[in-house]
Structure 1
């Protein structure tokens, strides 16, 4: 307890205490000067009289007699009481505050000790807030590091959420917590240098920790990778891709079809013919709302030829795809981007002549109900 008390006293904010000490020194100087000129005392006796009057001891060996002397002694005594009370009050108040912070910190550590596992999230800014909401929505345990205490005011600490108002780059606590019970460390601050330093801090003592870091600039990918980040994500770059996708939504078409593996190339020829791009293919497994998605991103007819030849030369791979088609009852969707709606209409008309089109721009729910019926 003695060590804790000393540590707390050392961490008290000095600005208030310093101000109080300066005011006491000013009052002390006032007491000495006043004692010398008003009380007609020598220098030593002036210092002595100023001290006992400010401390309200008043031994009575020097008694003010004139009016001005009495006013001086009164102001000196009242000033001494007020200033000493102020300094002690500041020290006591801040000591109590630090004791409260220490107590809350102990409670937070106790909560963390009782967590079976958890995620560490560094940064509660624009990106970190989204990550935090995703984690809590999935009922995950989260330890959140954020140096801006104002941002943490909206979050309530619970048995599954612990907030730590500290800069992760200035404290080794994050390295201690990124041990065996930590599922993943997610670093989401907007400063790549800060992210890099946090990665280095964690990796130095936790070689097996899984670290996912945000990168604002693409040129910092390699630096974060060398520092020890397992995954690097750039919301800025992803956001740019999302903007592109959103801008092309009027020219994005989802065609749900039903056909065998032998008709893949014929379908691809039609898509390529109209200058459209096959973005991805979604395989709809019966009873599962979220499809199995395979990115394609091609409009080159040569890619279709190469894929067909690959299946011919690799019968095992062809059999694997046939099994996939069989599992989804040959029902899958193509996400296609194109130049305009008129082109889409021509594309759909020609596809109808060659393969079975189940629907256009069907929702997940509509496709899920469709695959259930096929399953029966």
Structure 2
């Protein structure tokens, strides 16, 4: 306990100590000058009289006689008592605050120690807040690190949420926390330089920690990867994709069809014929509402031919694909983007001659209801 007290005392704000010292010196100078001019004392006696009066000791060897001398002695005594009490109160208050922070910090570290595993989130801005909500909704243990006092105070802590007001670029604590019990470190500050420093700090001592970081600028993605980030997410890229899909929504068609894997190439010929792009394929397993999604994103007929030839030369891959189609009773959905609605109308008419179309722009719930009969 003595070590802790000494440690806190040595960290008392220099601003508080400096301001208190300046006030004491100012009153001390006032006392010396007043003692020389008003009390007619020499310099040495002025220092002695000022100290004894400010400290309210008053040995009585120098007594004020005139009215102005008494007024001077009164102001010096009151000023000394009040100032010393004020400075002492400042130091005591700061000491109590630091003791409280130390105690709170010890409790937080105790909570972290009792966690079986956790995620570390560095930066609680607009992106970090969304990440935090996703983690807490899934009942994950989260350690939030942010240097803003205001931000940290607005986050509700619990047995599964610990908030640390720290600068992750200047604190080795994050390296200690990013150990075996850490599932992942998520770095979501808006400054790529800060993110880079945090990645480097963690990688120095934790080679196996999974690090996911945000990149605000595209040109910094390679730098973050070289620094040791396992995954880099750029809101700029994600936002661009979202904007694209939102812009193309009027020209996106979801067709739910039923056919075997042998008819893939014929289907793709029709899609590419009308200048459309096959974005994704959703495989609908009976009884499960959420489909298995596979990204395709191609309109090149050469890709279709290449895939067909691959299946012909790899019977194991063909057998696996057939098993997937059989498990879904050959029911799947294509997300197709195209130039306009008129093109989609032509595409649908052409496909109807080659395969069975079960529906257009159906929801996952509607498709699940449709496939439920295959469970019977």
Instruction: Give the TM-score band, short-chain normalised.
Output: over 0.9
Aligned to 2:55: 55
Aligned to 2:285: 285
Aligned to 1:313: 313
Aligned to 2:221: 221
| SS of residue in 2 equivalent to 1:108 | helix
Bigger shift: residues 270-279 or 348-357 = 348-357
- 1:229-308 → structure 2 map (5 Å cutoff): 229-308=229-308
- 1:22-171 → structure 2 map (5 Å cutoff): 22-171=22-171
Q: Distance in 2 between matches of 1:345 and 1:80?
A: 93
Bigger shift: residues 341-350 or 42-51 = 341-350
| SS of residue in 2 equivalent to 1:359 | strand
TM-score, normalising length: structure 1: 0.97
Aligned to 1:358: 358
Query: How far 1:207 moved relative to its partner?
Result: 1.3
Q: Distance in 2 between matches of 1:38 and 1:135?
A: 72
Q: Distance in 2 between matches of 1:100 and 1:216?
A: 37
| SS of residue in 2 equivalent to 1:354 | coil
| SS of residue in 1 equivalent to 2:353 | helix
Query: How far 1:116 moved relative to its partner?
Result: 0.6
Q: Deviations over 1:36-84 (max 9, x none)?
A: 1101111111110001101111111111110000000000011111110
Query: How far 1:267 moved relative to its partner?
Result: 1.1
Q: Distance in 1 between matches of 2:371 and 2:165?
A: 50
| SS of residue in 1 equivalent to 2:121 | strand
Q: Deviations over 1:209-251 (max 9, x none)?
A: 1111111222222222222111111111111111111111111
Q: Deviations over 1:279-321 (max 9, x none)?
A: 1111112222221111111111222222222222222221111
| SS of residue in 2 equivalent to 1:257 | strand
Q: Distance in 2 between matches of 1:306 and 1:188?
A: 40
Matched, 1:177 2:173: no
Query: How far 1:352 moved relative to its partner?
Result: 2.0
Aligned to 2:328: 328
Bigger shift: residues 366-375 or 96-105 = 366-375
Query: How far 1:344 moved relative to its partner?
Result: 1.2
Q: Distance in 2 between matches of 1:286 and 1:65?
A: 106
Q: What are the ranges of 5 or more consecutive residues in structure 1 without an aligned counterpart? A: none
Bigger shift: residues 222-231 or 56-65 = 222-231
Q: Distance in 1 between matches of 2:164 and 2:314?
A: 55
| SS of residue in 2 equivalent to 1:324 | helix
Bigger shift: residues 257-266 or 48-57 = 257-266
TM-score, normalising length: structure 2: 0.97
Q: Distance in 2 between matches of 1:282 and 1:236?
A: 27
Query: How far 1:154 moved relative to its partner?
Result: 2.1
Q: Distance in 2 between matches of 1:343 and 1:260?
A: 25
Q: Distance in 2 between matches of 1:177 and 1:327?
A: 45
Q: Distance in 1 between matches of 2:313 and 2:30?
A: 101
Number of matched pairs: 376
Q: Distance in 2 between matches of 1:286 and 1:345?
A: 29
Q: Distance in 1 between matches of 2:209 and 2:14?
A: 39
Q: Distance in 2 between matches of 1:279 and 1:213?
A: 27
Query: How far 1:252 moved relative to its partner?
Result: 0.9
Aligned to 1:207: 207
Query: What is the RMSD of the two structures over their aligned residues, measured on CA atoms?
Result: 1.1
